[in-house]
């Protein structure tokens, strides 16, 4: 059965995107979070990885694990323009709200 809730699409699974997803957690909307990577990178500890104090796995967490039971569906895809976020394959997806936060 088709989901009749409004669809919110968030581009970017960094701090900004995750906070936005958290905001919608209790709202009656369908949230899709798109990131070119399938993991969240905790950038403040990049220096520790560069200097060998931590392994890369210590600062990367799968988006599915970061967003458990949040109602947000992570989707791994590189968005090339804001209109592309409205497509899945060749199918146009109606979007109620688009949040773009792809800094890195
Ligand atoms: C080494 C380092 C140390 C830092 N230390 C601190 C600190 O101590 N305290 C502090 O407050 N801040 C710190 N920062 C800054 C902080 O990490 C950033 O301000 C924060 O990560 C920005 O969050 P964001 O969500 O805007 O972007 P990001 O965290 O960069 O997230 C952007 C996301 O968008 C995705 N993306 C990018 N382009 C596309 C695309 N075309 N399609 C799909 N997805 C895309 C990326 O994969 C990424 O997951 C540090 C940054 C660095 C690099």
Answer whether 76 contacts ligand 1 (Cβ < 6 A): no
- The residue among 20, 22, 19, 17 whose CA lies nearest residue 34 is 17
Nearest residue (CA) to ligand 1, atom 30: 104
Are β-strands 60-62 and 39-41 bridged in parallel, bridged antiparallel, or unpaired? antiparallel
Answer whether 16 contacts ligand 1 (Cβ < 6 A): yes
- Taking the CA of residue 78 as reference, the ligand 1 atom at the shortest distance is 42
pLDDT tens digit string along 1-59? 556 788 888 889 999 999 999 988 888 888 989 899 999 999 999 999 999 999 999 99
Q: Going from the N-terminus, what domains does the chain have, and what CATH number goes with each?
A: 6-38+64-100 (3.40.50.720)
pLDDT tens digit string along 88-99? 666 666 777 777
Between the CA of 55 and the centroid of ligand 1 the distance, in Å, is 18
| Predicted TM-score of the model (pTM) | 0.87
Residue 7's Cβ-count burial label (10 Å; 0-12, 13-18, 19+) is middle
């Amino acid at each position: 059965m088709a989901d009749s809730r409004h669809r919110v699409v968030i581009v970017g699974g960094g701090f900004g995107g995750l906070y936005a997803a958290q905001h919608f957690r209790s709202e009656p909307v369908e949230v899709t979070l798109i990131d070119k990577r399938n993991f969240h990178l905790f950038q403040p500890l990049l220096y520790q990885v560069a200097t060998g104090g931590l392994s890369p796995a210590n600062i990367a967490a799968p988006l599915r694990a970061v967003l458990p039971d949040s109602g947000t569906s992570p989707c791994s895809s590189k968005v090339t323009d804001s209109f592309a976020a409205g497509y899945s394959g060749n199918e146009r997806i109606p979007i109620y709200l688009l949040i773009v936060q792809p800094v890195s």
